[in-house]
Structure 1
C-alpha cells in the first residue's frame, strides 16, 4: 500500500489508524446507495439488451420478476446504510478526531496527510505570522478605505446607467 501520510508527532498510530490514513486525503466514505433512480435505470437498460435475444413471453416474465426483485431490493436498501470502511476504521476515525494533542492537515503539495503535535503546529504558525511578509491591519482605516472605493465604483456604475437599467428591470 502506498504511504499517503507523514507522521511528525509524538502520538503513536495503531495499525488500523495507519491503514485508514493510507486511503489518502481524497478518500470518500460511502454510507448509502447514492442514487436509487440511477441504479434502477441502469438495471432496466441492461435488461433491454437481452430483449432481442429472447422470446417475448419469456422476456415479459423475466422483466416482471426483475422488477419485483428490484423493488424489494430498493425497499430494503433505502433504510440500510452501507460502509466502505470497517468498524475498526470507523473507530480509528473517532479516535483521531477526539485526540486534541495532534493536528491532522493536508500537506501544502500533493495528496499527503500530515500528523503534527498540536503545540508544535501552533508554535510554527505563530513563527510564520511574526514574519515580515504580514502586517497588522488598522481595521477601522482599512474598512473605511475599502468602503469608500466600493461606493465610488457603485456610483460610477450608476452614472453610466448600468445600475439604473438593472434596477428598472428588477422593479
Structure 2
C-alpha cells in the first residue's frame, strides 16, 4: 500500500492509525449501501452471466434463491449501517481527533496527510504571520523606473515593426 502520510511529530502512531492514514486525505467514509436499486441490478446482471453455462431448471432455482436472499439483505440493509472502516479504524479516528498535541493537515500537493506537533505548527504559523520573509523595497521610485523600462521596450518593438501604433498605445 502506498504511504500517503508524512509523520513529523514526536507522537508514535499505532499500526491501525498508520493503516487508517494510508487511505489518504480524499478517503470517504461510507456507512450504508448508497443505491439499493443499483446494487440489486448489479447482482442480477452478474447472475445472468452464468445462465449460458448452466441447465435451465438449475438456473431458475438459483435465480429464485438469489432473489429471496437479495430481498432479505435489502430489508435488513435499510435499517442497518455498513461501514467501510473496521471498528479499530473508527477507534483510531477518535484517538487521533482527541489528541491535543498533534495537528493533522493536508499536504500542499497530492493526497498526502501531514502529522505535526501542535507547538511546532503554531511556531511556524506565527513566523509566517510576522512577515519577515519579505524584504521592503528600498527605492521609492521602483514602480516609476519599472514603467519607464517597459515603455522603452514597447517603443523598441514598435520601431522594429513587431507591433503597430494602435497596440503600442494600448500597452
Indicate how the Cα distance of structure 1 residues 103 and 73 shifts in structure 2: closer, same or farther if over 3 A, else same: same
Report the alpha carbon displacement of residue 49 of structure 1 after superposing the two structures with TM. 4.7
Higher Cα Rg, which structure:
2
TM-score (norm 2): 0.65
Query: Offset of 1:155 from its aligned partner?
Result: 38
| Residue 142 (structure 1) shift | 25
Identify if the C-alpha distance between structure 1 residues 32 and 113 changes in structure 2 by more than 3 Å, giving closer, same or farther.
same
1:12–1:45 CA distance, 2 compared to 1 (3 A): closer
- TM-score of the aligned structures, taking structure 1 as reference length: 0.65
Give, in angstroms, the shift of residue 74 of structure 1.
0.6
1:142 to 1:74, Cα distance in 2 relative to 1, 3 A: farther
Aligned residues: 161
Q: CA RMSD in A?
A: 7.4
| Deviation of 1:100 (Å) | 1.6
What is the CA-CA distance between 1:39 and the residue it aligns to? 0.8
Q: Which runs of 5+ in 2 are unaligned?
A: 161-170
- For structure 1, the residue ranges without an aligned partner over 5 or more in a row are 161-170
State the 1:120 CA deviation.
1.7
Give the 3-state SS of the residue equivalent to 2:140 in structure 1. Answer: helix
Distance 1:4 1:158, change over 3 A: same
